[in-house]
A and B are shown apart, each in its own frame.
Chain A
Amino acid sequence: MKKIKISWLALKNLKRKFIRTFVLLLLVAVVTGTLLSATIFISGMQNALRIGTYRLGADVLVVPEKNESQAKAALLSGEPTSFYMDGKVYDKVKDVEGVKRASTQLFIKPTSFTCCYNVETFLVAFDPSTDFTVTPWLQKKLKKPLADDEVIAGSAMPLMTDDIIPFFGTPFNVAGTLEPTGMKFFDQSIFMTMQAAFEMAEKSKGRSVQPLELEKGKISAVLVQVEDGFTPERVAIRIEHQIEGIKAIASDEVTSTVRKQLAGLLKGILLISAILWVLALLMTGFSFYMIVNERQRELGLLRAMGATKAHVFRLIITEAVILSLAGGIAGIVAGGGLLSVSKTVITQNLKLPYLLPSLPVLSELAAGALIFAVITGLLASLLPAVFASRMEPYDAIRKGE
């Protein structure tokens, strides 16, 4: 230490009323942490929705009329389900005007005997020759077409390529895994070929305690991609009009319910955050007003030693910045820690798609939170700092008496 620096003086001042400094720091930390986790949480869901709709890849989903809600539940929260309709629906859908591509899928709800993992598994059979929704999201392209004794595993499945996993008594080789999507429908599913599904069902009669009843030629859903110039809604209406006993769900319709729920949640979180922030701002502001008030004489003495108004202003502001910076960092660390610990709890209990933002986005959010914390500190101390710098030195020294 040669000369004394104002920032150093500010740091020393913060040590003075340790408990008050600590409480203020905690307050900033709590607000920053809450705000950060709220934004991460929200952006996680938006992320999942954005990627999810995209990943779903289909503009229209055609399912049996009576199974509409089950189908939506399967898509949104990945709840295993099974329902069947005649495979002829596919041929009819293909010919509807506005349909560019169509592919069939078969949903199989495995019994608890079939798998040994506690993650709920959803078996989905698809048609690799027409598929446009599953294979594009493989982490690595398959070396050869998916064989009938092979499966593709969703990202949340505790499986790796070349693992072997039995379903209904038939062992399957894991040929590839999917990227995380945030949609449980993808993340917690096992995908196999249609042929494999029927063979598995056939063999299950001899091998499995609870055999799988699967009638050849049945399907669960037809996934449709519409031609350019057609809206999913219009094509969905057309399909429903032309084919009996089915329900055509436009993908927007699936996500719009989530979006609505999300909007409500967003409003709530935003409101709570805003209230919390205002509260923190007022409390910090009041504390700094008290700090300035208590130290009037001392600030007057500093002025007598030659401190300018700007020096006094800077001293107070610097204290606030140090405090909010430290509180902000603590809040980010605590919030981040809490979020990563509760990540699995969130993804498992939330009946909504959720995908943690990528690391660059996370660090951006954290940096944003820190800047926000510092701005809060600046705002809170602004008026007290102006007040402190405007005092007449002699008045300030006298008032301290």
Chain B
Amino acid sequence: MIEVSDIVKSYSIGGQALKAVDHASFTVQQGEIISVIGHSGSGKTTLLSLVGGLTKPDSGKVIVDGTDIWSLDDNSRSHFRNRNMSFIYQFSSLIPTLTSLENILLPTAFGDFPGDVRAYAEELIERVGLKEKTNAYPSHLSGGQQRRIAIARAFINRPSVVLADEPTGDLDEEAEQDIIRLFSEMNSALKTTFIIVTHNKEIAGQAARQLSMSNGILTGAA
């Protein structure tokens, strides 16, 4: 479960304070899929980064599975991310010198991963339908395939929360559908919570709940 209460993040641009996220509060139940929509620059990525512990809020609290993540020190927060969270970005986030499989295993470099991680990575690669690309390098994958590998990587730590920032941006409709299907599969299999930032109305509509952001102000939160 995610409980966000009254978080604020502002930047000063040319001496002027810009509230990227302005007193946002919301709660997401475990296993819920919610979407965040909003115009460019409305503060969606900033919000995800605050929830994911990547950038510090000026004020407010983020509690993930009972842990107040911004009360942790940087090390503990990193470990917390490593164990409980994953991020999916719109841009290619694979390391070019690593194969698909190695990219999926990347998070294992930073924490304890009990069990046969390699077998699990192979299972994930099958799940995203790219078994034949196991040993391929990112430069030999299409944009959609790269995204699917990044998604497979997001599940290697069996996260309780996945934060996805426009995961289907610049993909064609078919690839988009694949990814949506994958998310709902993972969601039902692992009870993973999803917060998906998207411009795409269709994806947003498929989510259980929809938040919208405008000039840093979040609406639609229950």
Contacts and interface: CB of A to CB of B under 8 A. Distances in A.
A298 B95 CA distance: 8
Interface pairs A-B: 10 shortest CB-CB: A306-B82, A394-B55, A394-B54, A4-B109, A393-B54, A394-B49, A308-B78, A3-B108, A305-B107, A306-B110
A143 interface: no
Contacts of B108: 3-4
B106 A308 contact: no
Contacts of A1: 102, 105, 118
Contact of A305 (B46, B56, B82, B97): B82
Interface stretch (A7-15, A97-105, A127-135): A7-15
Contacts of B109: 3-6, 9, 307, 311
Given A3-B108, A307-B78, A309-B74, A392 B95 contact: no
Nearest to B154: A305
Contacts of B96: 16
Nearest to A298: B95
Max count, chain B CB within 10 A of own CB: residue among A16, A301, A309: A301
Contacts of B171: none
Given A304-B81, A308-B74, A16 B97 contact: yes
Nearest to B48: A394
Interface string A8-48: 01001101100000000000000000000000000000000
Contacts of B105: 1, 3-4
A392 B110 contact: no
B51 to A, nearest CB: 11
B117 A3 contact: yes
Nearest to A401: B91
Contacts of B157: 306
Given A3-B117, A4-B109, A306 B56 contact: no
A395 interface: yes
B54 A3 contact: no
Contacts of A9: 106, 109
A306 B107 contact: yes
B62 to A, nearest CB: 13
B122 to A, nearest CB: 12
Contacts of B117: 2-3
Interface string B74-111: 11001111110011010101011110001001111111
Interface string A309-320: 111000000000
A371 interface: no
Interface of B: 46, 49, 52, 54-56, 74-75, 78-83, 86-87, 89, 91, 93, 95-98, 102, 105-111, 113, 116-118, 153, 157
Contacts of A4: 102, 105-106, 108-109
A307 B110 contact: yes
A298 B81 CA distance: 16
Nearest to B119: A2
A303 interface: yes
Nearest to A8: B109
Max count, chain A CB within 10 A of own CB: residue among B46, B87, B157: B87
A303 B49 contact: no
22 contacts: A2-B118, A3-B105, A3-B108, A9-B106, A12-B102, A16-B96, A297-B91, A305-B86, A305-B106, A305-B110, A305-B153, A306-B82, A306-B83, A307-B82, A308-B75, A309-B74, A311-B110, A392-B54, A393-B55, A394-B54, A397-B54, A397-B89
B20 to A, nearest CB: 11
A227 B96 CA distance: 77
Nearest to B9: A394
B78 A303 contact: yes
Contacts of A5: 109
B141 to A, nearest CB: 17
Contact of A13 (B93, B97, B116): B97
A302 interface: yes
Given A308-B110, A394-B46, A394-B55, 16 more contacts: A1-B102, A2-B116, A4-B105, A9-B106, A13-B97, A15-B97, A297-B91, A300-B54, A305-B82, A305-B107, A306-B79, A306-B107, A306-B157, A311-B109, A392-B54, A397-B89
Nearest to B84: A306
Contacts of A6: 109
A310 to B, nearest CB: 8
A303 B44 CA distance: 20
B81 A3 contact: no
A4 B89 CA distance: 22
Contacts of A306: 78-83, 107, 110-111, 157
Max count, chain A CB within 10 A of own CB: residue among B49, B78, B82: B78
A311 B75 CA distance: 10
Interface string A376-396: 000000000000000011110
